[in-house]
Structure formats: C-alpha cells, structure tokens
C-alpha cells in the first residue's frame, strides 16, 4: 500500500468498487471471450498464431477503454483477419459467460461488511453487458447499491454517477471511498465527486504517478486500510 496514511478513514461509511479489473479478473474473462471468437472465425490457426492474436487483441482494447471497432480494425490491418462488424454485440452477448472474480474479492467484501461498511459497485457499460457479469460473478447479494452507467444515462468520470450511488445509500459523497483501476474514469471521477479515491493496479507491476492518491496492490490490502469496526448505520 502507498500513500494510504492520507485517507480520512474515520469518515468512510461505504466502500464502492469498479467492477472490471477491480473486482472482476477482466484479463482472464476477456482472454476467454477472444478465444471463443477466434476459434469460431479462424479455427485452423497454429496454436502460437492463435495465442499471439488473442494477446494482441487484449493490448489493442486497452483494458476495455476503446471501442471494439478499433480492435477490429487493428486486427484486420495486422493479421488480415476480420473479427466481424458485430464484435461489440458479440462481446455483450458472450463476455459474461466467462466472468471470474479475483480470488480475494468475496472474502474481502464479506469481511468489510462484517466491519459495518456498506458495499457497492459503480460501473460503466450497458446494462445488458454488465448486469449478467455481476450476477454470474456471485457478488450481487453483497451489494447495498449497484449503479450501471447504461441505466443511469451518465458514466464515469462524470461526478454525477458517484453522487447518484451515494444518494441511493443515503450518504454524503465524502462518506464513501471508491476503489478502481482506471486513473481517469475511476480516480479522477471519484476525486471530482468528493469521494475518497483508492487506486488498485492488478496487473503485477508498479505504475508510476506523481498524483498523491492512496494505492493498493490487492483487494486484501483494504482490510489493513480499513481495520476498524464501524457502528452499523
């Protein structure tokens, strides 16, 4: 953990999370989704060529932060393989099938709830794609609030989506911490809204930043950060 001594922990009553690459192991389920698609489109690829194509897809999509048309165009340009005009729809229809959480996600959430913290998710994406992932992951029963940008008609980093989640909890934004992996969507959005931003980077390497923001390496680090037991609210 880094820079965590600056967090006003005593005021936090709810801990909210991004989903993909924060609670959900997006690299794993994205790889499995591309595997399924590539095997349908180009079933006779050499195993090495197949894996290189899948890995490049993961690079091109920039942790899901670009439109799938960009991925399609880059793959067509570099590999001469067309992933299809319906790539975005394919993603919506199939990615949820392979969703998995990080191993410590549920144990950490269970412990935080025992300590009296409210738990929620704020995630970008259309509800048809995000809700099935969250339901299949098994995290839904633990949530006190779930805000999906496709339902809210506003998305991160717009401060309004963070305020919406706080309002649904009956809390001030200053009483909420937000854990996410994306600097712009998650950290800057939470910061602008007035929430306590906590940056998790789950990709097994340090990421340099001059901005003073609390940083954790795994979800388990939250248990040390929020060590006290709150009075139930």
Residue 229 binned pLDDT confidence (cut-offs 50, 70, 90): low
- Give 27-78 pLDDT, tens digit per residue: 999 999 999 999 999 999 999 999 999 999 999 998 888 999 999 999 999 9
Task: Let me know whether 45 and 92 are in one domain.
Answer: yes
Structure tokens belonging to residue 37? 């698609």
Task: Let me know whether 177 and 124 are in one domain.
Answer: yes
Q: What is the DSSP letter of 219?
A: T
| pLDDT reading at 2 higher than 70 | no
Give the whole-angstrom CA distance, residue 8 versus residue 61. 35
Neighbours of 145 (CB within 10 A): 20
Residue 18 lies in a domain: yes
Containing domain of residue 89, as a range? 27-98
Block residue for tokens 């930043």: 209
Task: Let me know whether 62 and 123 are in one domain.
Answer: no
Task: Let me know whether 217 and 105 are in one domain.
Answer: yes
Residue 230 binned pLDDT confidence (cut-offs 50, 70, 90): low
The proportion of the chain whose per-residue pLDDT surpasses 70, expressed as a percent, equals 90
- Give 97-120 pLDDT, tens digit per residue: 999 999 999 999 999 999 999 999
Instruction: Output phi, psi for 142, to 5 deg.
Output: -90, -10
Instruction: Output phi, psi for 107, to 5 deg.
Output: -55, -40
Q: Could you say which of 53, 82, 98 is where a domain stops?
A: 98
Task: Let me know whether 199 and 151 are in one domain.
Answer: yes
pLDDT attached to residue 1:
62
Name the average pLDDT for the chain.
92
Pairing status of strand 145-148 against strand 14-17: unpaired
Task: Let me know whether 117 and 83 are in one domain.
Answer: no
Range with top average pLDDT, 89-98, 196-205, 220-229: 89-98
Task: Let me know whether 37 and 94 are in one domain.
Answer: yes
pLDDT attached to residue 233:
44
Residue 38 lies in a domain: yes
Residue 210: which residues within 8 A CB-CB, separation 6 or more?
none
Neighbours of 103 (CB within 10 A): 12
Structure tokens belonging to residue 59? 């690079």
203-215 burial code (b ≥16 CB/10 A, e <16) = eeeeeeeeeebbb
Q: Could you say which of 80, 98, 116 is where a domain stops?
A: 98
| pLDDT reading at 207 higher than 70 | no
Residue 233 lies in a domain: no
Q: Could you say which of 42, 66, 98 is where a domain stops?
A: 98
Task: Let me know whether 211 and 129 are in one domain.
Answer: yes
Task: Let me know whether 201 and 123 are in one domain.
Answer: yes
Residue 114 lies in a domain: yes
Q: Number of folded domains in the chain?
A: 2
The CATH number of the domain where 183 resides is what? 3.40.50.1000
Give the whole-angstrom CA distance, residue 72 versus residue 68. 6
Residue 145 lies in a domain: yes
The radius of gyration of the chain's CA atoms, rounded to the nearest angstrom, is: 18
Task: Let me know whether 131 and 85 are in one domain.
Answer: no
pLDDT attached to residue 212:
80
Residue 230 lies in a domain: no
Task: Let me know whether 93 and 104 are in one domain.
Answer: no
Task: Let me know whether 123 and 217 are in one domain.
Answer: yes
Residue 203 binned pLDDT confidence (cut-offs 50, 70, 90): low
């Amino acid at each position: 953990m880094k820079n965590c001594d600056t967090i006003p922990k005593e005021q936090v009553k709810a801990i909210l999370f991004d989903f993909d690459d924060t609670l959900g192991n997006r690299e794993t389920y994205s790889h499995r989704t591309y595997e399924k698609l590539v095997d349908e489109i180009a079933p006779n690829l050499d195993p090495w060529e197949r894996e290189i194509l899948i890995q490049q897809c993961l690079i091109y999509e920039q942790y899901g932060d670009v439109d799938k048309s960009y991925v399609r165009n880059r793959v067509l340009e570099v590999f001469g393989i067309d992933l299809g005009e319906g790539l975005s729809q394919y993603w919506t229809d199939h990615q949820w099938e392979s969703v998995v959480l990080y191993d410590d996600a549920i144990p950490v959430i269970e412990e935080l709830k025992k300590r009296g913290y409210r738990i929620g998710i704020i995630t970008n994406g259309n509800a048809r794609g995000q809700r099935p992932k969250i339901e299949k992951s098994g995290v839904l029963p633990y949530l006190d609030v779930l805000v999906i940008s496709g339902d809210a008609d506003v998305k991160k980093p717009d401060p309004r989506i963070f305020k919406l989640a706080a309002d649904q909890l009956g809390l001030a934004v200053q009483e909420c911490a937000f854990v996410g992996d994306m600097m712009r969507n998650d950290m800057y959005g939470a910061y602008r809204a007035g929430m306590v931003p906590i940056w998790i980077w789950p990709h097994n390497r340090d990421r340099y930043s001059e901005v003073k923001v609390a940083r954790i390496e795994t979800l388990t680090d939250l248990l040390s950060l929020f060590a006290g037991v709150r009075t139930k609210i």
